[in-house]
Amino acid sequence: MTLFKRQMKLGAFLPAPGHHVAAWRHPNVKPDGGMDFEYYKSLALKAEDGKFDMLFLSDGVGIRTHYKNKDELSRWGRIVQFEPITLLSSLAVVTKNIGLTATSSTTYNEPYHVARKFASLDHLSNGRSGWNVVTSVTDAEAQNFNLERQPSHQTRYKRAREFMQIVTGLWDSWEDDAFLYDKRTGRYFDPDKLHMLNHSGEFFSVRGPLNVTRPLQGYPVIVQAGSSEDGQDFAAQWAEVIFTAHQTIEQAQLFYKDIKKQTLKYNRSPENVLVMPGVFPVIGKTQAEAEEKYAVLQDLVDPQVGLGLLTGLLGDVDISHLPLNSLLPELPETEGSTSRQKLIYEQARDQGLTIQDLYLSVTGARGHRFVMGSPSTIADQLEEWFTNEAADGFNIMPPYLPEGLNDFVDFVVPELQRRGLFRKDYEGRTLRENLGLQRPVNQFA
């Protein structure tokens, strides 16, 4: 091991009480953790002990669960949770090093609000904020924002592109050294270092400037998860961390190679785009113990919930009329997540899974990579992808909390550290520094 060995990046994706759809029913789980600050605080501190680059929170502006009626919905956990930007603003105070990445939708927000809230969070956290940019994928969210159906996939991405131009432009309203605070002359800032945006586009007109100083990181770290054609093109232009879903190393390598190449068309350097696939790890001291842990969770899956989960992943395509032991038919196009629909459909076809097999296979990883075994087995599997150009790191999705996170921090992280693949302490002060990403220069300076 040399001092300069390439280092794996790790995100802790922590929706209370865990990623497995039945996590809340697990005997060791606090089922109301989603609204418990002390619970989240202890998770964040544990992830920070594990030297994770960032804590990652997903988000929906509505209940995104696919359900037919209230009775069916009442069988799901993880329906209510803190709004992520408020939660991360609180967690900023009790943590020191870990990055704080929140999801926020470009489809159901105005760019001025998003620019401002993330700039504010970046200052509150001393440069540790990240923004996971999503275009949202459910009609349920649209229905909380004056629409019956979500805008088309294409429209959402067009809006997202303009949204990014505005948000980054607002972050550059003030140059880093714009403020003089000159009490004697009465000059608060240097007028030449203030840049009005005066944006007028297809979706938005935004004059600026932002009423928050430039984020400490220049921009918060931009994270993105879309993997459709539009999603990849968007990522190539804007993303600094890409949270992908792949099940085989071949798929992952193809994506990795392709996306790094696509960055060139936007004059970006491939090393400024980190590919971090999601990984759902079930960890035991032995393979057998891990399998036993997984079986406990699988036994707790309510069939209605399993089917609802699958329906959601397929882009809200209704399959409730089909027998559970039948194969999945060809699916109509969705305006939801086209890449996830495709991934799940191909999995079913390639492995010959019935609908029941299929929903039982997505209860935890939801299409992401599923690894199960002892700490060294897990480390082997992460190392394989990391050293073979399939990943720059991983977004870890613990099955249930806090145990799934504790297992990873206590057993897998030390193993990765022993192998020289992962930091023993934070390298920098900001999320951007820890991820090894450049600080963006002000586009107007």
Site for a second copy, residues 144 to 173, rule: CB under 8 A: 144-147
- Minimum gap (Å) between residue 190 Cβ and a second copy: 7
Q: How many residues bind a second copy (CB under 8 A)?
A: 77
Q: Which of residues 207-246 bind a second copy (CB under 8 A)?
A: 207-213
Q: Considering only residues 127-146, where is the footprint of a second copy by CB under 8 A?
A: 140, 143-146
Place of tokens 């030390």: 414
By CB under 8 A, is residue 181 in contact with a second copy?
Answer: yes
Q: Which stretch binds a second copy (CB under 8 A): 188-196, 321-329, 367-375, 408-416?
A: 188-196
Positions in 318-337 near a second copy (CB under 8 A): none
Radius of gyration of the CA atoms of the chain, in A? 22
Reduced to 3 states, what is the DSSP secondary structure of residue 182?
strand
Least distance CB 99 / a second copy (angstroms): 16
Q: Is the Cβ of residue 307 or residue 344 nearer to a second copy in the bound state?
A: 307
Torsion angle (degrees, nearest 10) of CA 32, 125, 386, 18: 0
Half-sphere exposure of 317 (CA within 13 A, CB side): 21
**Residue 194 within binding range of a second copy, rule CB under 8 A:** yes
CA nearest neighbour of 337 among 319, 368, 315, 363: 315
What letter would DSSP give residue 285? S
Nearer to a second copy, 109 or 406 (CB): 109
Binding to a second copy (CB under 8 A) within 35-64 occurs at: 35, 37, 60-63
Return the number of the residue (45 or 249) whose C-beta is nearest a second copy: 45
The CA-atom distances, in angstroms, between 228 and each of 59, 231, 234, 270, 273 are 19, 5, 10, 19, 17
- 177 binds a second copy per the rule CB under 8 A: no
Regarding 77 and contact with a second copy (CB under 8 A), the answer is yes
Selection from 311, 321, 366, 355 nearest residue 73 by Cα: 311
The answer to whether 59 is annotated as binding is yes
Q: Rank residues 169 and 281 by Cβ distance to a second copy and give the closer one.
A: 169
**Nearest one of 50, 3, 12 to 415, comparing CA atoms:** 50
How far apart are alpha carbons 241 and 34 in whole angstroms? Answer: 25
Interacting span for a second copy (CB under 8 A) from 183-191, 219-227, 258-266, 387-395? 183-191
- Decide: is 116 part of the binding site for a second copy (CB under 8 A): yes
Displacement of CA 79 from its chain's centroid (Å): 18
Is 368 annotated to bind a ligand? Reply is no
Question: Which stretches of 271-357 are assigned E, i.e. beta strand?
Answer: 274-275, 278-283
Both tokens of 273, joined, read 């785009």
Report the site for a second copy in 6-35 (rule: CB under 8 A): 24-27, 31-32, 35
Binding-site residue positions for FMN: 59, 103, 153, 157, 227-228
